[in-house]
Structure 1
Amino acid sequence: MEEPAGLNGELLLRPVRGGNSFEETVQRLLQTVRLGLVGPGERLPAERELAGMLAVSRDTVREAIASLSDAGYLVSRRGRYGGTFVSEVLPTHLPGTDQEDALAPTRNLSPEVIEDTLTLREILEVGGARHAAGRALTPSERELLWLSLVEANEATDEEYRRLDSRFHLMVGELAGSASLTPLIADVRMRVNELLDNIPSLGPNIAHSNTQHEQIAIAILTGRPDAAAQAMTEHLAGTALLLRGFLE
């Protein structure tokens, strides 16, 4: 297996599949931005580099960037220090319009939608943690996992969500399946949408940090069952809050 992507957008900026290259390029860039793999004010790789990473044409990359710039997620700057940057202030919701071209309202978060999201997350992330702990990790992989843990646990309130997301994506990355990380990114987008509708609770964040450490240590010490159990307990805590506030 290749060395893992670093703690940045490379986790999701990989060759697109299928015949919808423009749409999938927009999706990959949007996930990278909304999950905080490239933070507000930070620069994306150059168009040529993005085209190579995503295995699409530069025209496709350019069109995707233009679309996300129009939607308020990216800003293009010219000059010596120019490039494409993530907007300092991101839109609250995913871009979308109704039949009259007005911004579409937030979709209804029914109990069925909530349960589907939580079930899918458990299937993907518990399995990912188990497989990551069962692999012989390289020194680089071990260092990246620990760094993602430290940064998540030291995050300020404003940065916590994106660094928490990055930790979970890194665990999935270390499972050894290139297809898993984009799936975890997709379900994490759905989880974040749910979290946007409940208050942030300090004790819950402190408890999550402790559980993050338990997950990381189990993976680093090669204990698949312990990693799966720690991830199960971690996800269950978030699920309890979401069900309590939203159902």
Structure 2
Amino acid sequence: MTDFEGLKALVTGGASGIGRATAELLAERGASVAVLDLDPSSVEKPLLGYRADVTDDASVRQAVAAAVADLGGLDVVVNNAGIGAQGTVEDNDDEEWHRVLNVNVIGMVRVARAALPHLRESSHAAIVNTCSIAATAGLPQRALYSATKGAVYSLTLAMAADHLREGVRVNCVNPGTADTPWVGRLLDSASDPAAERAALAARQPSGRLVSAAEVAGAIAYLASPLSGATTGTSLAVDGGMQGLRLRPVGQ
């Protein structure tokens, strides 16, 4: 497909995982792609790498401005940078709540705020926020993380309403448990990594983790000019976790 031919895209958290898969897919489909990341050292051509800390407004503005100057404009923003957290409401102190909210929610605000003046000049402007199944399903030991992703979901709807008449579409993708470096580190820290992986896979009706490439495909769909009538939408890529209730195997 060449639906992104001639378009300029920016992907945060694009050096690994879902962000990297998305950046590479958009480039394959014709986009010029800038990757913003805390450590863009692994980013290779045709992708362009820029260091950015989404918790620092000046850093974000500088990176976005540099990327837009090098790309020659901006059409698509994939707000993907984020971090995880484990525990109930009793397990994370105030400092950790502020830290994760600062990255997962306010970080998206900073990037969108810096990008919007450029997106308004595009005929195919789109923002896609990486949300999570945690925004719509109660998951154990994920209170802080779920709160941030619930905020991202609501933020997506509000942004879609605010910017529709400016020609900017805003949507989000809601992955289930994805096979990413963060999940890999989570599994490595478990007392029984194999059992933990099996448990994470089993809670999705498909019986397996979601791949980064599958999430990237959904992001590309939402960002594509072919989806010009799609805005204010959350697209689940979760192996049926949100909507399906399968009977146990053998019954």
Indicate the TM-score class for this superposition, using the shorter chain for normalisation. under 0.3
Normalized against structure 1, the TM-score is what? 0.25
Normalized against structure 2, the TM-score is what? 0.25
Ranked by relative contact order (alpha carbons within 8 Å, sequence separation 6 or more), the top structure is: 1
Question: Where is the helix percentage greater, Structure 1 or Structure 2?
Answer: 1
